[in-house]
Each structure stands twice: as structure tokens, then as C-alpha cells.
């Protein structure tokens, strides 16, 4: 009589003795071993800093630290504390990862979470502003800067003809790096903004950009002085609507001749010409040509409007960062500068230029046509210029003139992906001798504008609306014809 138990055991041995069962058993054990290794490795990686084990897969590297920030962090030799004001369970993911990336990268930085519910009076020593969850305080020694969570996400909008567009940017790295730079800097440069001539006021965006670049501004009225005060390092003249007096003109010329630095943003104006202001540039043999530049080369204007110029940029300390990153400046309603008779003892760099097909219409805002007429001045035309002159004691006169009053307009700055703003900031950084200035751009949460010329825009339309559909249609016809012949 057969033993059922013995027979069952023999059958099991026989089943597991087959080739397929051996392969299956081997696969099972290999799987178990691999899973065990993965669990062990994953556990071990938890002890490493995030920068070594996490990959930022966001489109614009939102919580990664850029090379500019790393350069600054490499110079930090003092302890820095970053207080993260956040209630437990309400942490912003991007802010959290960014903060701990700073802490991981620099041994001098410590991130400390402060729950406002548990520490309601903690921020009173730093700010009297309303405290929003996920706000930040950067502190080093006696210096500190408060970063409101409202400022970390920048929302801007603009309208163009009948359309309206808005965009949101993440300014976390830009603000934190700027705050660190401020806290470890010994001095903050001051830009004196001329007033008393109907000058434009800065937009909130440009004001914030100046703060991020760690530049302070003070107003300056020359009517209160016999000469430009000695402490004035740099003067910004922003889109005046009325002219300087002759006394102010002479004061500015004397200031420049003694090594002063002036940035003028002045384009086509309505009403009287700014004769005395223009005389400051003409003192160095450069003529300010009043009118409106019309661009006929479709590669050098945008949105089908020949007064919205996209000029060529010459290489300089001001333009090189924009050129290397392939940005384009949008210069609306500009006049021109004639540098052909510049004094021989000054160095002149044409920062922005139109194409040869451009021309200047002297009529200014009163022009009635974009067509070229008798009396119009032929291109190429200089639209922004840098004038320098080396003086004694390693001092240098610097004068930069941008021939468009609208370059900092929020609409055109957004369309240039902040290239307009950065162009002006680069000029101010040069004039205030911020050789190690760190300028980190905000990062778009959705997209950045692709600035293309009118001609490129036309090519894209032809390709997408005509060529590609035609190719698909032709391929379809060929396939149908071949099938019918079979």
C-alpha cells in the first residue's frame, strides 16, 4: 500500500527538480536580494545631503542653486542663520527644498524653523510687516533681511492690444542670495536719482530689482547745491519731461569731468526738446538726434511694429551677460545718438544699434507715417552708448545714455524676459563698482517669453500654418495612391 505523504513529498521534489522550477526559484531569490539592496541603499541615502541624492526635475530648476549663488556662497566666512517662519504641516515644497540646498551647500549656513504659533513674538525684532507663512529671515551678525512669502512668488501681467497675459515667477533663490550678499557686504552703494524735471517713477518691479541687487536709492535735487555733492557716486536721470537749467547742466558736466558717473534714460519726448540735458552728452562731441527711429529690417523689430526695436548689442561689460544667454532687448520709441564726431580723448562704445535699413524721423511723436521721407536720417543708428575717460589717480568718468524712456516699462520688460531691466542694472553695477555683484534671475513657473523678430515670426507662421500641413497632405496623398495601385 502506497504511503500518501511519502508520495506527495516525492511529487513536490519532482516538480521543483524541473528546469522551469529551478529558473523560477532563482528569479525569486534574485528579486528578493535586489529589493533588499534597494531598501538598504534607500535607507543609507537618507543620511546624505539632499544635493547628492535629489535631482531637480522641474523645468526651470526651481529649487536648485545656480552657479552665481554658489560663487557667493564660496566667499561666506561668517555664520549665517536662515529663519524659516512656517507652521508645521504648511511648508511650501519649493521653499523647503531650496532652503535645505543652501544649508547643504554651505557649512556656514543653518536653517532654523520657527513656528509662528509657538513663537508669536519672534519676528517683532526683525519687522513690523504682516508675517505670512513660509516667510524667511536671513541674519548674519548685526545685519538681517526679511523676505515676505508674498515676494517669493512674483505675479505680473500686461496687456497688448486686446489680449491680457499674466505670469508667475519663483524668486526664492534670487531673494535669498541677495539677502546673504547684503548681510555679508560691508557697504551698500547708493544711486542718486535726479528729481525736479518731471522724471518718471520706478515701477515696483524695478524697485525690487534694485533692492535684490543690493543698491539703495536717494533722490537728488541740484537746486539745493552749488555743485554735485562729493558723496554722490552715481546719478540716474530717468525719463525727464522738462529740461535742466543751465546751472544744472554745468554742474553735471563738471561732475563728469572730475570722474563722476551718470546714467541717462531719455528717449523721444512730447513738447520742447531737452536742450540742456542733451548738452551734457554733446560736451563730449556726441550729438543727441531728436525724433523716432523707424526700423525697416524685420529682423530688428517685434510684434509687427517698426518702432518696437530689437537692436543689435555690441560686446561690453554691460551687454555681455545678456549676449551670452541669448537675450534680446526691446527698445520702444527711441531716438538716436550720433557718435561720429566724439572727442578723441574719450572711449565710446555703441551698446545698442539699429540695422542699416533703419532711419530716424525728426518729427517725433508727430509723425504721420512709417514710410521713409525726405529729411529722414539714414541708419545704422546708435540707440545706447557708453562713454568713458580715464583720469588721474585711477579715476574714470563714465556716462551711459539709453535713448528710450520706455525701456523700463513693465510691459516691454516682461516681453524681453527681463533683459531690459538687467541691461539697466548691469550699467548701474558697473558705475557703482560692484565687481562681484550677484544677480540671480527669478524663475518662471510656467514659461519665459521667446522674443523673436517680426521676420522670424513670419517664418514660423508660414511653416506651422502652410508648410507642415502641406507636407502632411502630400504624404497622405502618396499613401492613398500607393494603396489603390496595389
| String of DSSP letters for 8-32 | HHHHHHHHHTSHHHHHHHHHHHHHH
Q: Which of 68-72, 225-229, 345-349, 466-470 has the lowest mean pLDDT?
A: 466-470
Q: For position 407, what pLDDT does the model report?
A: 94
Q: For position 42, what pLDDT does the model report?
A: 66
CA distance to 43, 45, 51, per residue, from 48 (Å): 10, 5, 8
Cα–Cα distance between 272 and 158 in angstroms, integer?
30
Cα–Cα distance between 38 and 36 in angstroms, integer?
5
pLDDT confidence band for 162 (50 / 70 / 90): very low
Strand ranges, E, within 196-249: 216-220, 235-238
Q: Which residue has the cell 563730449?
A: 284
Q: For position 57, what pLDDT does the model report?
A: 47
Cα–Cα distance between 144 and 141 in angstroms, integer?
8
Grid cell, residue 165, equals 497675459
- Whether 441 shows a pLDDT value over 80: the answer reads no
Average the pLDDT over 75-86 and give the result: 92
pLDDT in tens, 371-391: 888 888 998 999 999 999 998
pLDDT in tens, 229-279: 999 999 999 999 999 999 999 999 999 999 999 999 999 887 778 999 999
Q: For position 163, what pLDDT does the model report?
A: 46
pLDDT, mean over the chain: 83
For the chain, give the percent of residues with pLDDT over 90.
43
According to DSSP, residue 350 is labeled E
Q: Which helix (H) or strand (E) holds 67?
A: helix 67-73
Long-range interactions of 200-203: CB distance < 8 A, separation 24+:
200/238, 200/239, 200/405, 200/408, 202/238, 202/408, 203/408, 203/409, 203/410
Cα–Cα distance between 157 and 164 in angstroms, integer?
7
pTM reported for the whole predicted model: 0.71
Q: Which of 72-81, 132-141, 445-454 has the lowest mean pLDDT?
A: 445-454
- β-sheet bridge partners, residue 308: 332
* Of residues 455 and 93, more confidently modeled: 93
Query: Exposed, middle or buried, 194 (CB in 10 Å: 0-12/13-18/19+)?
Result: buried
- β-sheet bridge partners, residue 179: none
CA distance to 139, 145, 244, 274, 355, per residue, from 375 (Å): 61, 56, 28, 21, 19
Cα–Cα distance between 256 and 259 in angstroms, integer?
5
254 phi and psi, to 5 degrees? Answer: -65, -40
pLDDT confidence band for 356 (50 / 70 / 90): very high
* Of residues 53 and 323, more confidently modeled: 323
Q: For position 15, what pLDDT does the model report?
A: 55
Q: Which helix (H) or strand (E) holds 45?
A: helix 19-45
For the chain, give the percent of residues with pLDDT over 70.
81
pLDDT in tens, 189-218: 999 999 999 999 998 888 888 888 889 999
pLDDT confidence band for 461 (50 / 70 / 90): low
* Of residues 166 and 298, more confidently modeled: 298
Average the pLDDT over 298-319 and give the result: 90
Output b/e per residue, 274-290; b: 16+ Cβ within 10 A: bebbbbbbebbbbebbb
Q: Which residue has the cell 563714465?
A: 398
Helices (H) and strands (E) in the chain, counts: 15, 22
Amino acid at each position: 500500500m502506497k504511503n500518501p505523504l511519502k508520495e506527495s513529498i516525492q511529487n513536490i521534489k519532482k516538480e521543483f527538480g524541473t528546469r522551469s522550477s529551478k529558473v523560477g526559484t532563482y528569479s525569486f531569490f534574485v528579486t528578493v536580494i535586489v529589493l533588499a539592496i534597494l531598501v538598504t541603499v534607500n535607507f543609507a541615502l537618507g543620511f546624505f545631503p539632499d544635493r547628492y541624492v535629489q535631482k531637480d526635475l522641474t523645468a526651470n530648476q526651481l529649487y536648485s542653486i545656480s552657479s552665481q549663488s554658489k560663487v557667493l556662497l564660496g566667499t561666506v566666512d561668517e555664520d549665517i542663520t536662515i529663519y524659516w517662519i512656517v507652521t508645521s504641516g504648511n511648508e511650501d515644497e519649493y521653499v523647503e527644498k531650496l532652503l535645505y540646498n543652501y544649508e547643504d551647500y554651505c557649512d556656514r549656513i543653518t536653517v532654523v524653523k520657527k513656528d509662528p504659533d509657538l513663537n508669536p513674538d519672534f519676528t517683532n525684532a526683525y519687522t513690523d510687516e504682516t508675517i505670512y507663512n513660509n516667510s524667511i529671515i536671513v541674519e548674519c551678525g548685526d545685519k538681517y533681511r526679511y523676505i515676505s512669502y508674498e515676494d517669493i512668488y512674483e505675479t505680473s501681467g500686461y496687456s497688448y492690444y486686446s489680449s491680457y497675459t499674466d505670469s508667475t515667477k519663483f524668486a526664492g533663490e534670487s531673494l535669498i542670495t541677495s539677502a546673504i550678499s547684503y548681510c555679508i557686504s560691508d557697504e551698500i552703494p547708493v544711486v542718486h536719482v535726479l528729481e525736479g524735471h518731471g522724471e518718471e517713477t520706478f515701477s515696483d518691479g524695478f524697485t525690487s530689482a534694485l533692492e535684490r541687487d543690493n543698491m539703495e536709492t536717494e533722490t537728488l535735487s541740484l537746486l539745493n547745491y552749488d555743485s554735485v555733492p562729493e558723496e554722490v557716486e552715481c546719478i540716474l536721470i530717468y525719463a525727464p519731461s522738462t529740461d535742466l537749467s543751465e546751472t544744472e547742466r554745468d554742474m553735471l558736466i563738471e561732475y563728469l569731468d572730475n570722474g563722476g558717473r551718470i546714467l541717462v534714460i531719455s528717449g523721444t519726448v512730447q513738447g520742447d526738446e531737452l536742450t540742456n540735458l542733451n548738452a551734457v552728452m554733446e560736451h563730449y562731441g556726441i550729438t543727441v538726434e531728436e525724433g523716432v527711429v523707424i526700423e525697416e529690417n524685420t529682423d530688428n523689430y517685434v510684434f509687427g511694429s517698426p518702432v518696437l526695436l530689437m537692436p543689435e548689442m555690441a560686446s561690453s561689460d554691460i551687454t555681455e551677460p545678456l549676449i551670452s544667454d541669448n537675450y534680446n532687448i526691446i527698445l520702444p520709441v527711441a531716438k538716436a545718438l550720433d557718435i561720429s564726431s566724439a572727442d578723441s580723448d574719450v572711449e565710446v562704445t555703441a551698446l545698442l544699434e539699429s540695422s542699416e535699413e533703419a532711419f530716424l524721423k525728426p518729427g517725433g511723436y508727430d509723425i504721420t507715417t512709417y514710410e521713409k521721407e525726405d529729411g529722414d536720417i539714414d541708419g545704422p543708428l546708435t540707440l545706447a552708448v557708453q562713454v568713458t575717460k580715464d583720469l588721474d589717480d585711477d579715476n574714470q568718468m563714465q556716462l551711459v545714455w539709453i535713448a528710450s524712456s520706455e525701456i523700463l516699462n513693465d510691459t516691454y520688460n516682461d516681453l524681453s524676459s527681463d533683459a531690459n531691466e538687467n541691461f539697466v542694472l548691469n550699467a548701474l553695477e558697473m558705475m557703482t563698482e560692484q565687481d562681484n555683484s550677484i544677480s540671480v534671475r527669478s524663475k518662471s513657473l510656467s514659461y519665459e517669453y521667446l522674443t523673436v523678430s517680426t521676420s522670424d515670426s513670419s517664418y514660423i507662421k508660414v511653416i506651422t500654418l502652410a508648410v507642415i500641413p502641406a507636407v502632411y497632405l502630400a504624404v497622405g496623398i502618396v499613401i492613398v495612391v500607393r494603396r489603390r495601385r496595389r
